[in-house]
Structure 1
Amino acid sequence: MCFAAAISSVVGMPSIQHAQPVVSLREVTRTYGQVHALDGVTLDVHRGAFTAIMGPSGSGKSTLMNVAAGLDDATSGQVFLAGADLRALDDDGRTRVRREQVGFVFQAFNLVPTLSAAENIALPFDLAGRRIDGETRAWIDHLVAVLGLTNRLSHRPGELSGGQQQRVAIARALASRPAIIFADEPTGNLDSRSSREVLTLLRTAAQEYGQTIAMVSHDPVAASYADRVLIIADGRVVGDHGRLSPQQISDLLIGFEVGAA
């Protein structure tokens, strides 16, 4: 069974709702000394959207992700994540929101090398002190099967290919059904075939499961898998587009780089 069909067959799958944004930023700034990494950013990310965040080097795209995920503090403005006002929370409160509402997929996979694939997938539950109930276990088993990891669960990361490690990271991110997954250059360490497989999995998770995904990438091919492409330059959102081809994205980025030269 393909990933799309398998995901859509899961009983009890949450419906896609577009009324309440999963992430909202209102006039958000983030400064480091005299540098304005974010400069008055206002945007919403709705449930079930697969959003690519693009921009020239130093444009603020990684800062945008870190602030939206509660990994970094906004200097001013409001940041809402899964309904929580991050600026009103202390460190413990933000950590709790991240554990309960956010999944992460990173370029470097960020798997614990001494743990098996199964233990890495279960790690967020262990860290949060959450018991994996029967329904969640069935969902994890389903993800593992669809992602082709059934025969790799006892393997440690060093015994897996890069593509398999990223699949483990995706299973870990999806396991708790978070409000949003932030993906930071998720295909940066993968070959072209593994990259296509991972990007197809992310797109299908958004389209069929209603998973919200925000992906930072420098790669126009990767961004072309997204439903929405945000272009960041000089800390501001300068472009907000629907699905684009790799060539269209490249042309946009080149235009901003030329304009900044």
Structure 2
Amino acid sequence: MKNLSFSMQKGESISIQGASGCGKSTLLHLIGALDKPDKGEIILNYDNQVLKINELTNLQSDQFRQKDVGMIFQKFNLIDCLSVRDNIYLPAKINKANQQSIDHTYIHSLVESLGISKHVDKLPNQLSGGEQQRVAIARALSHKPKLLLADEPTGNLDEENSDKVSKLLVDTCRTHNTLLIMVTHSQQVAQLTERRLRISQGNIVESDNVEVK
């Protein structure tokens, strides 16, 4: 990344586009405290709390991701030995240990909206790639994160399901005032977000606002 700088607002939805290898996934990993920048600052100001993500210790990074961040990875990262239901509930259960309640009605609604209710007792390896992707999306949203980082969240879905899931992501984040940062190659998916950024060789070369549909 080369002197990349931009700001985001609470509850905003942003899509990031660019050629393969331009740094899109790296940017998500930096914001999510999975990686640390060589220089510069990543600052999150949420609910009057200023958090310098680049200065977090390993333990603080883990706590930040568990409580405040939802992540949708390209390779899903589902736990093979857990059922679909347990995979989805995992972030919410981890946060329950930290005195945060689980919203069962909300999670049930997510599962229904994503069309995976009939699969909740299966293991991940019994699902298709598209079904696994929808499980990964439900898991990332189950604890109502303040920040959702989505790396090609509809990459394995057909056009109809891609449109449905993308709208669900944007609408759910808007409802819960969650900041959504989504990497996507799809122009159609990008059109659903409030802002679009384009990265080339580590720099933001294009930024525009679009009407939310």
Alignment length (residue pairs): 208
Q: Which has the higher contact order (CA 8 A, sep 6+)?
A: 2
CA–CA separation in structure 1 for the residues paired with 2:165 and 2:106: 19
- TM-score, structure 2 as length reference: 0.86
Secondary structure of the residue aligned to 1:46 is: coil
The 1:68/1:135 distance shift into structure 2, 3 A limit, reads closer
1:210 and 2:177 are equivalent in the alignment: yes
Deviations 1:115-174 (A, max 9, x none): 111100122245567278665233223322333333321122223333332222122111
Question: Would you say 1:97 and 2:75 are equivalent positions?
Answer: no
- Which residue of structure 1 aligns with residue 16 of structure 2? 53
Match of 1:161 among 128, 149, 154: 128
- RMSD of aligned C-alpha atoms? 2.4
Offset at residue 90 of structure 1 (A)? 1.1
Q: Which has the larger radius of gyration?
A: 1
Q: Does 1:75 find its partner at 2:42?
A: no
TM-score (norm 1): 0.71
Matched, 1:241 2:208: yes
Higher normalized strand content (fraction of residues): 1
User: What is the CA–CA distance in structure 2 between the aligned matches of 1:198 and 1:182, rounded to whole Å?
Assistant: 15
Contact 2:114 2:165 in 1 (8 A): no
Q: Which whole-Å CA distance do the structure 2 matches of 1:167 and 1:121 have between them? A: 10
Could you list the runs of 5+ residues in structure 2 that have no partner in the other structure? none
Matched, 1:179 2:142: no
User: Does structure 2 retain, via aligned residues, the 8 Å contact 1:59–1:233?
Assistant: yes
Distance 2:100 2:201 in 1: 46
Equivalent residue for 2:27, pick from 64, 69, 93: 64
The 1:77/1:51 distance shift into structure 2, 3 A limit, reads: same
What CA distance in whole angstroms lies between the structure 1 residues aligned with 2:99 and 2:84? 16
1:190 counterpart letter in structure 2: L
Residue matched to 1:251:
none
